[in-house]
Amino acid sequence: MPNFQTVRGMRDLIGKEAQTFIRIITKAQETASLFGFKEVFTPHVEHLELLSAKTGDEICQRMFVFEDLGKRQVALRPEFTASIARLVTSTLRTEPKPLKLFSVGTVYRYDEPQRGRYREFWQSNFELIGADKPEADTELILLTNKLMQTLGLQGYAFKIGHIGIIKEILSQDDVDEKTQNAILQRMDKKEYESALKLVTSEKCRGTLQSLIDLKGNNWRDTIEQINVIVSDYEKAKIALENLTEILTIVTSSAEISLTVEPAFARGLEYYTGMIFEVYIPQLEIALGGGGRYDRLVEAFGGESTFAVGCAHGIDRIAIALQTQNVAHMPKAGLDVVVIPITESVKVDALKIAQMLRDRGVSTGFELLGRKMGKALEAADKHDFDYAVIVGERELCMGSIVIKDLKKREQTTVLITELFEKLGVK
Ligand code: AMP
């Protein structure tokens, strides 16, 4: 038997779920526009060389890689950032900075499928290139906040950290970059014990352990405590100052719920500064996340460029909306179906359907030539609000019959009064 199911980890989106995705994508596009991000479309397939240039080792191992018919080694994009870096170092190289780019679409990772984890999933992605100021970091948190808020999500909260704090502690204790990345990856998975095993200096292990143990809701208190823990680490203190400045700006510009977690790391190893994720209380999976990665563009052969970005998982946001019962919005307009009673009035009925569509009314037409009873039964199942019934007798008098399918009432009205009767402006 041929296998005609979707490939493992990939899904069809239909009906209300598809509608929810469209709503999230539209809100992400509106948010991009509000914050001055320009939308760009890049290919789903890129050279393997590009995608593996600096993406975290872990993601590299989970890419869908193949050889095309021209024997090129290519892969499905596991994220947008590499494609954006390609653009920034080529076509958009001379564009005035900062560059603010937005993309939305599917990305592909060979993850182990489970609820909220797919192999094909949708992201909305924001990249802000060429700005080193904390205001730039702030924009990414604020736009994520705005997106969550406009989608109607309740009780969402940000988890914020700064990769510079951990990296500078490790650097001061001479831990090489490769080991640093291995440690961060383990910390990302909350495998703290195994992460600390890679640290030889006892003092450094103790410092990291104190950061791991630190929990608290008031971010100012947490910052104070981190300050004490890293008092011997000059560069880590600079990273902490940067984080403090970002948080001060964020909290004074918006109502926002956040916690600071100094031992928080993110899977992608290219981060250099502030990192964040956003959650709702009912779900343990992050709805989105991002951070600063000032050395990324350089890794793609470009000049040293400041960069900060974030991505939101649309599939997970859809789950969050469902969990909080805000996934389905009431219908915006009417759904009308036009039914001709006989062949002879088909053309007139089609004209009426066209008239409705020209006025912006979503209009269906009885396409199967069913008898009135069956056509109305089908209209009910399709959840139409009104049926416009076109019959020869009424048509002679310039009229049609409108049937309100919810109230089960019908009236004969002049065609000239159709819009008024339907309440169409
Ligand atoms: P990342 O690109 O890893 O920073 O992820 C950004 C966001 O994409 C995460 O916060 C998730 O919401 C979403 N995401 C990551 N991996 C998956 C996956 N396998 N399936 C669905 N969503 C994902």
Whole-structure pTM value: 0.93
Mean local confidence (pLDDT), 124-130: 98
Kindly report whether the peptide bond that precedes residue 98 is cis, defined as omega within 30 degrees of 0. Answer: yes
List Cβ<8 Å contacts ≥24 apart for 219-223. 219/160, 219/247, 219/251, 219/258, 219/259, 219/260, 222/259, 222/260, 222/262, 223/247, 223/260
Q: How far apart are CA 157 and CA 6, in angstroms?
A: 34
- Ligand 1 site, CB within 6 A: 79, 109, 111, 116-118, 121, 123, 267-268, 286-289, 311, 313, 315-316
Predicted local distance difference test score (pLDDT) of residue 87: 95
Report pLDDT digits (tens) over 398-414: 999 999 999 999 999 99
Q: Is 268's pLDDT higher than 70?
A: no
CATH 3.40.50.800 residue ranges in the chain?
Answer: 335-422
pLDDT at 55: 59
What CATH architecture applies to the domain 15-323? 2-Layer Sandwich (3.30)
Other CB atoms within 10 Å distance of the CB of residue 396: 8
Superfamily of structural domain 335-422 = Anticodon-binding domain (3.40.50.800)
Atom of ligand 1 at shortest distance to CA of 267? Answer: 3
> Is the CA virtual torsion 118, 119, 121, 125 positive or negative?
positive
Mean pLDDT of 202-210: 93
Closest to 211 measured CA to CA, from 133, 278, 265: 265
The pLDDT > 70 percentage for the chain reads: 98
Helices (H), 214-295: 219-229, 234-253
User: Going by CA atoms, what residue is nearest to atom 14 of ligand 1?
Assistant: 313
In whole angstroms, give the CA distance from residue 278 to residue 141: 9
- Ranges in the chain annotated CATH 3.30.930.10: 15-323
Least confident of 115-124, 299-308, 320-329, 353-362: 299-308
Confidence tier at 267 by pLDDT (50, 70, 90): low
What are the φ/ψ torsions at residue 370 (nearest 5 degrees)? -75, 160
Closest ligand 1 atom to Cα of 290:
4
Q: Which of left, alpha, beta for 360 (phi over 0: left; psi -120 to 50: alpha)? A: left
**pLDDT bucket at 391, cuts 50 / 70 / 90:** very high
